[in-house]
Amino acid sequence: MASIDTPVRPGRRSFTGRRLRPADALLQGVAAIAATSAAVLVGLIAYKLVRDAWPAISRYGIAFVAHDIWDPVANHYGAASFLFGTVLTSVFALAIAGPLAIAIALYLTELAPRALRGPVTALVETLAAIPSVVIGLWGILVLGPFLAHHVEPWLHSALGFIPLFGSPSTGPQSIFTAIVVLTIMILPIVASICRELFLSVPRELKEGALALGTTRWEMIRAVVFPYARGGIAAALILGFGRAIGEAIAVTQVVGGGTIIQANLFSGGDTLASKIAASYQGADSNIQVAALIYLGLILLVFSLVVNLLAQWVVRQFGRGQGAVSRASARVGATA
């Protein structure tokens, strides 16, 4: 088939340029429809959320985000503790995963023996393919008990003077377990984007730096990081977006509870985990509306993060390689 088609095509094109115009128009039309429908979809989702959350919005107003009560019996609802839990878990997860992911990417592009790079890259990416419900289950049965019995007591005795490291949890569930689970989930995403970024740094630049007598670390600091700066920021924000929105695994390990406290080893909830845990069983209209209000807050939160991502990339990413721009776009769709 292909062998018949190939010689004809260039003939057509050389024959006249006009012939392809209908196809161009078609392409443009399809692409435009695809692009608009994505935008319309976001608009419709926002509209639907606002409409379904309206009973809660009109009842609680913006004060909803400042109240930390969630009482389905008395029908009093507020989002403060979930907002707090979301910020706490995703900021800490990013703080742990970010440096680790950059280190992994550097190792895979600059430091690892060539024979190791392929297999390790594949393994890191496999981590991203594990379903979150499986990670959550592993979190309750394996990771959680280990953290509670070994890591948390150790952190508490070493750093107990900081309120974050209060008395260790008795069971497998805590904010801390959720942070570690989220770290594991966002690590492969950030690492593989950073790896692509570092690979896109032109070889001449790196070799030039090395030829000037820099050490490998100096070369990385002087060439690789500045070149990939915007992209790294976008990758981190992409990971952050993933951490904010993760529901199932967090629901399984976070423990629940509406008490806002600094201790990472106590239970808590995030916006996404509360929605995942309670939506199906919600038995009053106002509770459903309050849960959808949580969803709306989550949407706004993600939007703000995305806008921030675009701004950051524009600030740091001027005049850089295509990959960093591409990943900026990836970041923007998180």
Partner 1 sequence: MKKSLSFAAVLALVAAVAAGMSAAAGARSSDTTITGAGSTFVSPLVQTWQQPVGGALGVTVNYNPIGSGGGIAAITNRTVDFGASDAPLSPDQFSACKGCLQIPWALAATAVLYNVSSVKNLLHMDGPTLAKIFSGEITKWNDPAIVKLNKGVSLPDTTITTVHRSDGSGTTWNFTDYLSSVSPAWKSKYGVGTSVNWPAGTGGRGSAGVSAVVSQTNGSIGYADVAFALKNHLKYFAMKNSSGKFTTPGLRGILAAASSDQKPDANNALSIVNPPKKFANAYPISTFTYVIVPETSAKAPELKKFLFWAVTKGQTFGPKLLFQPIPKPVLVVAEKTIKKIHT
Cβ atoms 78, 69 nearer than 8 A? yes
- How far apart CA 277 and CA 126 sit, in angstroms, is 27
Residue 183 touching partner 1 (CB under 8 A): no
Which CB atom, from 144 or from 241, has the smaller least distance to partner 1? 144
Pick out residues in 214-253 that bind partner 1 (CB under 8 A): 251-252
| Candidate residues 105, 237, 277, 292; the one interacting with partner 1 per rule CB under 8 A | 277
Q: For residues 175 and 189, which CB has a smaller minimum distance to partner 1 in the complex? A: 175
Shortest approach of partner 1 to residue 264 CB, angstroms? 14
CB atoms inside a 10 Å sphere around CB 19: 10
* Dihedrals phi, psi of 70, to nearest 5 degrees: -135, 90
Q: Does 55 bind partner 1 (CB under 8 A)?
A: no
Nearest residue to 251 via CA among 86, 67, 80 = 86
Question: Could you say whether residue 166 binds partner 1 (CB under 8 A)?
Answer: no
Q: Considering only the C-alpha atoms of the chain, give the largest distance between any 2 of them, rounded to a whole number of Å.
A: 80
Among 86, 89, 121, 173, interactor with partner 1 by CB under 8 A: 173
Q: What backbone phi and psi angles, to 5 degrees, belong to 333?
A: -95, 0
Site for partner 1 (CB under 8 A): which residue of 153, 160, 166, 257?
A: 257
72 near partner 1, rule: CB under 8 A? yes
Position of tokens 């950051």?
A: 312
Does 4 contact partner 1 by CB under 8 A? Answer: no
Name which of 286, 293, 302, 251 is nearest 85 in CA terms.
251
The reply on whether position 113 binds partner 1 by CB under 8 A is no
The 10 Å Cβ neighbour count of residue 165 is 20
Site for partner 1 contains 153 (CB under 8 A): no
Contact residues for partner 1, defined by CB under 8 A:
1, 69-74, 137, 140-141, 144-145, 170-173, 251-252, 255-258, 267, 277-278, 280-284, 288
